[in-house]
């Protein structure tokens, strides 16, 4: 099938590549000429495991092309995927200007039936606004061409995006037109072989499903973080509590890890946007407000622990940071906890020596050259001469470090583990003080 994707970010690029991989003829359009040039010269603008190779093989097979020519994009595909950003507006609601701009572009160039597929995360009612926008443009051109607008939210996880798209646990399709539903079913058939994962529903339910999923996941994290603070206060160990409650199948072990807060391009903005949607309709979503407030506070927990340990004397201290991306296997640093920590440390006059397996370039892009930031060549180099080590992102390679080597490089033998991934008793046996989330600190005997 002929497919056009507007937006070559995480979602657009992965969608385009995976649809090409199963044999479709995909044209990806972006307004950013640098991105398109990079992709056309064999480069990849983001880090995502497996993406590079798949782009290359599908480009070579002629099934995947990149262009800034929107008109060619509209002419190309029966399916017109809208996968552009929906960043938060000033008040936290989703900014739909990019989505609606694509809708206008499609309407301006459309000469035959097209299916507009909303893949961006958009508030309930957006499909109607997209349809209204197309109708307005058509009316101004004195033209009526048949079209449909479908909600098809994306659930991929950065870091496992290809795997999630190729083997989805659900494909949500929201449409009121059964014929369009069948066309989407045909497009997704190759991802649906072992059993039917496609769930057809009305448009509004599909739109809300995406927000509901992200809000639920964010709630699990904030719940555990709230509990971890209570655990510290009462002298309990949150990791024991986690295993204790996870054994109940109604709760489960998944996604209940305490830590130093969630970040990324989705949870923070989607929780906020859903809360604003509800508020706009006169409903106070108090649970969502609390999820956001708890997360905001939790992102400051590591800094508070470091500040308290050094008795409020951080000026002139150097803190090593392991992990800068908002989660492992991505270089995405949008709303990352590392940023909150680094900015608080700088504010307090401390120096940062940081290391991340893939997000170093992104850190340089965000913060530029600054005297109080050193980007180290590897994890141990970051620790060299630092006063403390803070672990912020749970990359696998940080899980089993050489504590002896860490201790010998640190000026003060202390580790702050913001993700509870290290073996505290081993750290302690090596002579390190180990401070984690939701548990009492461990000090060397
Ligand atoms: N990143 C994720 O993990 C994820 C997961 C599920 C859903 N989503 C949702 O998917 C949407 C896209 O997210 P993303 O992370 O891929 O965004 P992104 O910011 O990485 O990419 C958006 C791209 O759209 C391009 N663009 C903007 N206006 C355009 C236009 N008029 N025509 C063509 N291209 C245009 C931009 O240049 C950019 O390359 C968002 O709504 C997001 O909430 C993201």
DSSP output for 10-30: HHHHHHHHHHHHTT-EEEEE-
Does residue 330 register a pLDDT over 90? yes
State the residue for tokens 């970040």: 263
3-state helix, strand, coil in the chain (%, to 5): 45, 15, 40
Q: How far are the Cα atoms of 143, 319, 327 from residue 263, in angstroms, in the given order?
A: 45, 21, 8
Question: 3-class SS at 376?
Answer: coil
How far is ligand 1, taken at its centre, from the CA of residue 11, in Å? Answer: 6
Question: 3-class SS at 381?
Answer: helix
Does residue 193 register a pLDDT over 90? no
CB 272 within 8 A of CB 291: no
Does residue 70 register a pLDDT over 90? yes
Cα distance between residue 386 and residue 381, in whole Å:
10
CB 323 within 8 A of CB 398: yes
As a whole number, mean pLDDT of residues 306-319 equals: 98
Closest alpha carbon to 438 in 190, 181, 233: 233
Six-digit token string for 47: 């880090």
Residue 194 pLDDT level (bands cut at 50, 70, 90)? confident
Pocket test residue of 10, 267, 325 for ligand 1, highest count of atoms within 8 A of CB: 10
Cross-strand partners of 434: 415, 442
Active site residue 266: yes
Residues 38-67 have pLDDT tens digits of 999 999 999 999 999 999 999 999 999 999
Cα distance between residue 285 and residue 54, in whole Å:
42
Residues 74-91 have pLDDT tens digits of 999 999 999 999 999 988
Give 184's DSSP letter.
H
Q: Find out whether the beta carbon of 207 lies less than 6 Å from any atom of ligand 1.
A: no
Q: Find out whether the beta carbon of 317 lies less than 6 Å from any atom of ligand 1.
A: no
Cα distance between residue 296 and residue 281, in whole Å:
25
Q: Find out whether the beta carbon of 158 lies less than 6 Å from any atom of ligand 1.
A: yes
CB 10 within 8 A of CB 161: yes
Residues 97-113 have pLDDT tens digits of 999 999 999 999 999 99
How far is ligand 1, taken at its centre, from the CA of residue 373, in Å? Answer: 30
Question: 3-class SS at 322?
Answer: strand
Pocket test residue of 5, 9, 96 for ligand 1, highest count of atoms within 8 A of CB: 9
Pocket test residue of 4, 7, 96, 327 for ligand 1, highest count of atoms within 8 A of CB: 7
How far is ligand 1, taken at its centre, from the CA of residue 10, in Å? Answer: 7
Residue 167 CA, distance from chain mean position: 19
Angle of the 337-347 helix axis to the 301-309 helix axis, nearest 10:
40
CB 354 within 8 A of CB 376: yes
């Amino acid at each position: 099938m002929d497919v056009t994707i507007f937006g070559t970010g995480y979602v657009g690029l992965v969608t385009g590549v995976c649809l090409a991989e199963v044999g479709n003829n995909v044209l990806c359009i972006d307004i950013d000429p640098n991105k398109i040039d990079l992709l056309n010269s064999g480069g990849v603008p983001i880090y995502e495991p497996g993406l590079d190779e798949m782009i290359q093989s599908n480009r070579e097979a002629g099934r995947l092309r990149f262009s800034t020519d929107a008109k060619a994009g509209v002419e190309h595909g029966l399916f017109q995927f809208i996968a552009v950003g929906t960043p938060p507006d000033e008040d936290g609601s989703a900014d739909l200007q990019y989505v609606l701009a694509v809708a206008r572009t499609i309407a301006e160039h459309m000469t035959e039936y097209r299916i507009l597929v909303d893949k961006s995360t958009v508030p309930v009612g957006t499909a109607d606004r997209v349809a209204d926008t197309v109708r307005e443009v058509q009316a101004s051109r004195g033209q009526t061409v048949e079209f449909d607008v479908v909600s098809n939210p994306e659930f991929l996880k950065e870091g496992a995006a290809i795997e999630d798209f190729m083997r989805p646990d659900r494909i949500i399709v929201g449409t009121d037109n059964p014929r369009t539903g069948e066309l989407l079913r045909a497009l997704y058939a190759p991802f649906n072989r072992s059993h039917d994962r496609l769930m057809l529903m009305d448009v509004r339910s599909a739109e809300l499903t995406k927000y509901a999923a992200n809000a639920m996941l964010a709630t699990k994290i904030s719940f555990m973080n709230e509990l971890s603070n209570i655990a510290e206060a009462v002298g309990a160990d949150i990791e024991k509590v986690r295993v204790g409650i996870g054994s109940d199948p109604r709760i489960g072990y998944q996604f209940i890890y305490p830590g130093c807060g969630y970040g990324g391009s989705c949870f923070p903005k989607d929780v906020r946007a859903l809360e604003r949607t509800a508020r706009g309709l006169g409903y106070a979503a108090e649970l969502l407000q609390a999820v956001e407030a708890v997360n905001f506070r939790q992102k400051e927990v590591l800094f508070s622990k470091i500040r308290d340990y050094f008795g409020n004397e951080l000026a002139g201290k150097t803190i090593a940071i392991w992990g800068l991306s908002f989660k492992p296997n991505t270089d995405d640093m949008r709303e990352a906890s590392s940023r909150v920590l680094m900015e608080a440390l700088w504010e307090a006059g401390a120096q940062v020596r940081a290391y991340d397996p893939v997000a170093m370039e992104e850190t340089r892009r965000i913060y530029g050259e600054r005297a109080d930031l050193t980007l180290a060549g590897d994890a141990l180099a970051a620790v060299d001469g630092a006063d403390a080590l803070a672990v912020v992102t749970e990359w696998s390679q940080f899980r089993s470090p050489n504590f002896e080597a860490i201790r010998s490089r640190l000026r003060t033998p202390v580790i702050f583990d913001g993700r509870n991934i290290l073996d505290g008793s081993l750290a302690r046996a090596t002579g390190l003080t180990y401070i984690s989330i939701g548990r009492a600190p461990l000090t060397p005997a």
